[in-house]
Amino acid sequence: MSDEQAVSTLTFFSKDEIECPVCGATFYREELRTGRGRLIAGELTDELRRLYEPSQKYGEVYPLIYTITVCPVCFYAAYVADFSTIEEPVAAKLRDQQDQRHRLVDSLFPSLDFRGRRTLIEGTAGYILTTSSMDAFSSDRSPTIKQGLSSLRAAWLAGDLHHKYPEENYDYLANVLYNKARFFYTLAIEYEGDGHQSISDAGHLGPDLDKNYGYDGALYIAALLEYYHGSDDDISSRIKSLERAKRTVARIFGMGKASKNKPTALLEKAKELHSAIGNEVKHLQDSLG
C-alpha cells in the first residue's frame, strides 16, 4: 500500500459542511478512522502521553492532530464542543484577531493547509491557534485549562517534528510550548481555587485521548511541568515553586485509595514525582548552605 493509499484509509472527511461562526467560511472536517489495527498502543510516558507504534499497513499515526477544528480562512480554532457554540461577542473578538492568528503561525509554518489532509505541521499549528483563540472565550468555558492542554499537546507534536526534522529547531519551539503549558496549568489551578474558572467543567482533560485523568491529572501535569520546565534563575524562588508543586501533587495520593478517578498508574507516577521534587528541593537547600 502506498503512503497516499494508507492515509486515505486512515482518515475521512465529514459528510456535512462546517460553517465557521467567525468568518462564515465553509469546509469539511478530517476525522480519524478507528479499528483494524490503525492504532497500536505503546507506552504511557511520564507526561501521561500515550505513544503509538507504527503499523506495517498505516505507518506512523498521530491521533492528536485530528482533534482540533480549524477554519482554513480565518484560522479560528477550537475543540469540537466549543467551535460552533460561541456567542456573537466572542465571534466579534475573534474576527478582530484574525490577522494576529495568521501572523502567529505563518511565522512558524509558512505553508499551512487546513483544507487538505493533516500532517504534524497542521496538528501543531492547530493547537497553537486554539491557545490563541481561547483568549476570546469567557470564563464559563474554562479557557485557561484548555490553553494549558493545547500548549502541552502542541509541545508533544513539536517534539515529534524535531525527531523527524532535527535541523529545523522544532526542539526550541517545543520548549517554548512547554513553558506556556506550565504557565496555563499553574494559572488554571489558581483559578479553580478562587472560583474564577472551573477545571472539572472543561470536558476531556486527558491530557491524551486514550484516558481522561481529570482534575487529578491536571494537578499532576502542573507539578510535573514545574519540575521539568520551571525557571531556575533564582534558587530561593525555585525552591518555593517546587515546594508548591510538591504540595500540589501530594493532593492526588493524599485523598485515598485508587478508584476509577484515581488510576493506579497515576498514583504511582504522582508518588514518584513527589519524591523527585523532594530530592531536588533538598539538593537546592543544601547548595545554599
Q: What does the pLDDT average to over 153-181?
A: 98
This prediction has a pTM of 0.94
pLDDT in tens, 185-234: 999 999 999 999 999 899 999 999 999 999 999 999 999 999 999 999 99
> What average pLDDT does the segment 6-33 reach?
91
Of 230, 50, 17, the closest CA to residue 153 belongs to 50
Residue type present at position 174 = A
| 210-213 long-range Cβ contacts below 8 angstroms, 24+ apart | 210/41, 210/50, 211/48, 211/50, 211/263, 213/48, 213/263, 213/266
Q: Are 253 and 274 in contact (CB under 8 A)?
A: yes
Average pLDDT over the chain reads: 93
C-alpha cell, 201: 467543567
Alpha carbon 63 to its chain centroid, in Å, reads 12
pLDDT at 1: 44
243/247 Cα distance (integer angstroms) = 6
Give the per-residue pLDDT at 57.
Answer: 85
Q: For residue 260, what pLDDT is reported? A: 52
Q: Can you tell me the distance from the alpha carbon of 105 to that of 111, in angstroms, rounded to the nearest whole number?
A: 10
- pLDDT at site 189: 97
Write the pLDDT tens digit of every residue in 50-79.
Answer: 999 988 888 899 999 999 999 999 999 999
User: Does 110 have pLDDT greater than 70?
Assistant: yes
What would the pLDDT profile of 278-289 be if each residue is shown by its tens digit?
999 999 999 887
The Cα 187–Cα 195 span in angstroms is 12
Q: How far from chain centre, in Å, is Cα 68?
A: 11
170 pLDDT higher than 60: yes
Q: Look at residue 259 in the predicted model and tell me its pLDDT.
A: 53
